[in-house]
Amino acid sequence: MTPQIEISHVEKHYGAFHALKDIDLTIPKGSFVALVGPSGCGKSTLLRSIAGLESITSGDLRIAGERMNEMPPRKRDVAMVFQSYALYPHMNVLGNLTYSLRFKGVAKADAREKANRVASTIGLEKLLDRYPRELSGGQRQRVAMGRAIIREPKAFLFDEPLSNLDAALRVHMRMEVRALHDRLGATSVYVTHDQIEAMTMADHVVVMRDGRIEQQGSPLTLYDTPANRFVAGFIGSPAMNFVDGHGSEDGHSVRLDALPGAPVLPLDRRVEPGRPVVAGLRPEHLFSGGETQFSVPIRVVESTGSIAYYTTDTDPELMLVEQGRGKLRSGDSAALSIAPGDIHLFDPMTGLAL
Ligand SMILES: Nc1ncnc2c1ncn2[C@@H]1O[C@H](COP(=O)(O)OP(=O)(O)OP(=O)(O)O)[C@@H](O)[C@H]1O
Ligand SMILES: [Mg+2]
C-alpha cells in the first residue's frame, strides 16, 4: 500500500511544554485513520502539524512522498474539517462551496458545475441558495465537508467534526462521513476523543496519551490485545474492570485477592506463581455462561431495555453487562464466570500487558 502521509520521529515543543513525543505513523493511501485519546493528549496538535498550521520541532513529515516540514499549509493539498464549521456567514451554500476555487482563479461556470456535482454527492442540491444561519447543524456540517471535497485534496483532516451535533445525528453523520470517504477513495485522518466513533469509523486506530502513541492497530486488535492498561481501559465501553491479584501456585491461574472469596480463575497461559498482577475483566465477558466461578452482590441496576448494566457492591466495584432487560435486582447476587482467553493481565508497576 502506498503511504499517503508518513510521520517519522516527530516532536513538537511549545516552549518548555513537550506536546508530541517521537510520533511514528504511516497512513496508507485510501485508509481511514482515527486519532483518539483524552483531552490534551496532542491529537489536534498532530493533525494541525500535518496540515501545516503548526510547525514541528523535529522529525519528518511527508505527504504523497514529498517532504512537507517547511511547506506552507496552502501548498500541502490537504483539507481540514473542524467542529465549528467555519462557514462564511455572508455567503450562501454555493458561495461557500466555490470560494476556494474562485480564489484559485477557476472560472465561475466551472466552479458552479463542480459545486453542483459535490452538492449532489452530499445531498445539498436543494440548499445551494441558503445561508448558513438557515441550515441545521447536520446540514452545516455537510457544507463544511463539501467545501473540503471540492478541492480534491490528497487527504482530509477532521478535527472532532461531529461533536456539536446531537447524539442521533452524530451516529448518522459518522456513517455518512465513512461512506463518503469510501465513495471518494479518500485518505482521511479523523480526530475524536470518542472511542466508539474511532472504533466504528476507522480501519486503523491510534491511541494517544500525553503526546505519545500508546498503541495503534485495527479496532479489534486494540480491543482483543491492548498493549497496556491505559489502552485496555480506554478502548471498550463500559470500560474494562481492573482487579488486583497474583499468580496462583499451579502457574496456570490467577487469584483475585481483591474480590469476595478470592476466586481462582484458570488462564490459557502461564503466570509465575506469587507474581502480583492486575487482572483486566471486560464487563461483557463476565456472564460467560460457564460454571459459576464467583459471586458478587449487585448494588446498582441500570437497564436500557436491550442491555442491563450492573454495578457491584465490592471494592473495587465491578461493572457488568448483560444482554436483555436484566434479571438481577439491587441486593441480588450475580453468578459470574469468564473464559480463560478473555482474562487480561497487566504488570502492576509498568501497566504493560503480560
Ligand atoms: N499554542 C500552544 N502553546 C502551548 N501549549 C499548547 C498550545 N497548543 C496546545 N498546547 C498544549 O498541548 C497539549 C495538546 O493539545 P491538543 O490541542 O493537541 O490536545 P487534544 O488532544 O486535541 O485535546 P482535546 O481533546 O481537548 O481537543 C495540551 O496540553 C495543550 O495545552
Ligand atoms: Mg483537540
Question: What is the CATH number for 167?
Answer: 3.40.50.300
Ligand number nearest CA of 82 is: 2
Task: Please check whether residues 215 and 242 belong to one and the same domain.
Answer: no
Cα 316 versus chain centre, distance: 27
Which residues have C-beta atoms less than 6 Å from ligand 1?
Answer: 14, 17, 19, 37, 39-45, 193
Tell me the chain's radius of gyration from C-alpha atoms.
24
Q: How far is CA 288 from CA 18, 67, 281, 293, 339, in A?
A: 44, 51, 12, 10, 7
Overall average pLDDT of the 118-139 stretch:
89
218 domain-assigned? yes
Alpha carbon nearest to ligand 1 atom 27, residue: 39
Query: What residue type is assigned to position 327 of the chain?
Result: K
Question: Which residues contact residue 353 at a Cβ distance below 8 angstroms, ignoring those fewer than 6 apart?
Answer: 225, 226, 227, 228, 229, 232, 344, 345, 346
Overall average pLDDT of the 217-246 stretch:
97
* pLDDT for residue 105: 86
Task: Please check whether residues 97 and 135 belong to one and the same domain.
Answer: yes
Residue 59 CA to ligand 2 centre (angstroms):
21
Task: Please check whether residues 101 and 212 belong to one and the same domain.
Answer: yes
Task: Please check whether residues 262 and 328 belong to one and the same domain.
Answer: yes
Residue 232 has pLDDT above 70, yes or no: yes
CA distance 49 to 61: 9
Residue 45 CA to ligand 2 centre (angstroms):
7
Task: Please check whether residues 158 and 277 belong to one and the same domain.
Answer: no
Task: Please check whether residues 154 and 201 belong to one and the same domain.
Answer: yes
Residue 210 CA to ligand 1 centre (angstroms):
10
256, 243 contact by CB (below 8 A): yes
Task: Please check whether residues 149 and 266 belong to one and the same domain.
Answer: no
Cα 290 versus chain centre, distance: 32
Pick from 165, 197, 226: which residue ends a domain?
226
Alpha carbon nearest to ligand 1 atom 26, residue: 39
340, 265 contact by CB (below 8 A): yes
Range of the domain at 137: 3-226
284 domain-assigned? yes
What is the number of domains present in the chain?
A: 2
Task: Please check whether residues 191 and 293 belong to one and the same domain.
Answer: no
Provide the mean pLDDT of the chain.
93
* pLDDT for residue 84: 67
What is the per-residue pLDDT across 143-184, written as a single tens digit (0 to 9) for each? 988 898 888 888 999 999 888 778 888 888 888 889 889 988
Report the Cα–Cα distance between both ends of the chain, in Å, rounded. 32
Pick from 206, 226, 246: which residue ends a domain?
226
Residue 139 has pLDDT above 90, yes or no: no
More confident position, 84 or 249: 249
Ligand number nearest CA of 35 is: 1
Task: Please check whether residues 47 and 183 belong to one and the same domain.
Answer: yes
Alpha carbon nearest to ligand 1 atom 17, residue: 44
Alpha carbon nearest to ligand 1 atom 20, residue: 40
Residue 81 CA to ligand 2 centre (angstroms):
12
Task: Please check whether residues 29 and 102 belong to one and the same domain.
Answer: yes
Test site for ligand 1: of 12, 13, 41, most ligand atoms within 8 A of the Cβ:
41
Test site for ligand 1: of 11, 13, 14, most ligand atoms within 8 A of the Cβ:
14
CA distance 8 to 61: 7
Sheet holding 78-82, edge to edge: 78-82, 155-159, 188-192, 32-36, 204-209, 212-217
Task: Please check whether residues 219 and 289 belong to one and the same domain.
Answer: no
Task: Please check whether residues 212 and 264 belong to one and the same domain.
Answer: no
Placement of cell 511547506 in the chain: 71
Q: Where are the alpha helices (DSSP H) in 185-328?
A: 195-201, 219-224, 229-234
* pLDDT for residue 78: 94
